[in-house]
Structure 1
Amino acid sequence: MGKTGGRGDFEWVYNDQPHTSRRREILAKYPEIKTLMGPDPQLKWVVSAMVLTQLLACYMVHTLSWKWIFFWAYAFGGCINHSLTLAIHDISHNVAFGNKLAKWNRWFAMWANLPIGVPYSASFKKYHIDHHRYLGGDKLDVDIPTDIEGWFFCTPARKVLWLFLQPLFYAIRPLVVNPKPLSLLEVQNAAVQVVVDLIIYQLWGLKPVVYLIAGSILCMGLHPISGHFIAEHYMFLKGHETYSYYGSLNMITFNVGYHMEHHDFPSIPGSKLPQVKRIAAEYYDNLPQHTSWTRVLWDFVFDDSIGPYARIKREYKIVKQG
């Protein structure tokens, strides 16, 4: 892909995000895409199988030595947990049970959250809405790194550290950039998570709890699957802020790689996004796209033109309700 040039600031633009106009244009030409919107009946079964697999793994690892706990957390459990965070991403758009059963989606997201080890789903839902509505929005889209991140993590060694610490930044950044009041759903999410963690600890000791939490941290940091964090919106080609990836890792990440299609049609489940691309192929085939998340991470670290500052930002005028 092309280079953006040396960066000392974000790429500020003064136009609206492209997804809104492209959505209207595609739907006008291919109204059958509307039939893909709505719940995915298979999602609840796939997610439940993954949760139960991790609970079984908790029993299986409780007698292992610590070195094997961390090995399996990185090589196996963390991959499932990262995939579950992407299931939660899908569920946040109400695709597990549909918009009419929004509460069911929220509680099901808490079920998907259990192997992650720390409460996540309710807070993610609260902020992910803004990411779609105000893509790149200054002080609104908390997916955008802070100025301190962009300024400091600018060398290969520092960028490797930044990738490793991504889970920490994703947890802290919303509290700094766009703090919101604690919701009842977040309290419930935390209570359910703590109770389940304590039950696992009482049954099998500390090692399974460490296995779950360490896997989540390690596989959301410096790990091939985590390439999607960078691939989705970092500006590898000047002026392009969203990119898709059509490789094999989509099979274990709920098609999060179809990210251009997802932002165009957020109410379509990940399982059906390949159909969007097939129907409206002329809108996606010629757009910049990634072929490898591992290559994305390599380029991010070693290409001087790419780093936390390589993001498009824009101002949104928010009308506050009186």
Structure 2
Amino acid sequence: MKQRKIIHVDMDAFYASIEQRDHPEYRGKPIAVGRPEMRGVVAAASYEARRFGVRSAMPSMKAMKLCPKLIFTSNRMDVYKSVSAQIRSIFHRYTDLVEPLSLDEAFLDVTENKPGIPLAVDIARRIKREIRQELHLTASAGVSYNKFLAKIASDYRKPDGLFTIHPSRAEEFIARLPIEAFWGVGHATAERMRALSITNGTQLRERDMEFLVRHFGKIGGVFYNFARGIDERPVEPFRIRKSVGCEETYREDATKAQALETHLPLLSEELAGRLARSGFQGNTLTLKVKFPDFVQKSRSITVPDCLTEIEDILPLARTLMEDLDSGDRTFRLLGLSVSHPREEHSGGIWEQLWLDLEY
């Protein structure tokens, strides 16, 4: 079977870079897309701001403390969507197998490509050049034989990076990866892996399938394959994004009072940030809880308008939690998601939603 050629393209600080492109006075300065308010959330940060520790989904007040000279700019989602469409049109010059993950990143399968270019790295180089020349923005690209490795490669030399993981070098490359670099390994999973003396790709590869599934459930099988450079997922251009969500597993079980006062506000901030970055719009909010015995419950509420801001999400999340029939039980996991996409807003070509299992 022919070796696949997969490219992952990730725009560098996409929203913030557009603002710096369109407003020369912002260039070279730390900027954040969002609102400098008590309940505001950073949707995106320039690389100048990231040097101070400012990150997307961070509360605006915290970002301002980290970087007192931080400049906030309004979210111009219509502009970001328009630029994203222009970027996708560049991708389609080379292949129709384009799978957007959000407005600013996508996978491309260029095994068979329109210009007939034999090397995927040459296609990635041309795409980067055309984005820079036509849109005055920079992108990072990763090239490999599957999605897992292409995604890692695109992160390897950001910003404005280009990196290839060749099949002959994949095993050695994966062996050196810190466990946090693997897809699906969030903070809580990384802590559990470290407790099992798994800190890198070599140690992950030493564990058999049964061990990983026993400790991590179904995703343990994914970790087993990733550690061996195996990822058979195809690039799928037309899967419709159904929801955007986030969840957290707690080191110590949370009470309902803690959930209402502390955990749900943090989850709501994270969710609002993810919604802003993805451009997804939906009007159904779902609360998911997992009890210490691993029993799960969920509750949903649908409202007339799209849920995009923390001011809209948090009150509904608290209502769902208060209405949840949990008695005096505590929670080991809480999650929030927005679904029921409004296709006239969302564009209908999104996917890869709950991959980031924890934060």
Q: Structure 1 length normalisation: TM-score?
A: 0.28
Query: Higher helix proportion, which one?
Result: 1
Query: Higher strand proportion, which one?
Result: 2
Q: Specify the structure having the higher radius of gyration (Cα).
A: 2
Q: State the structure with bigger RCO (CA 8 A, min sep 6), 1 or 2.
A: 1
Q: Structure 2 length normalisation: TM-score?
A: 0.26
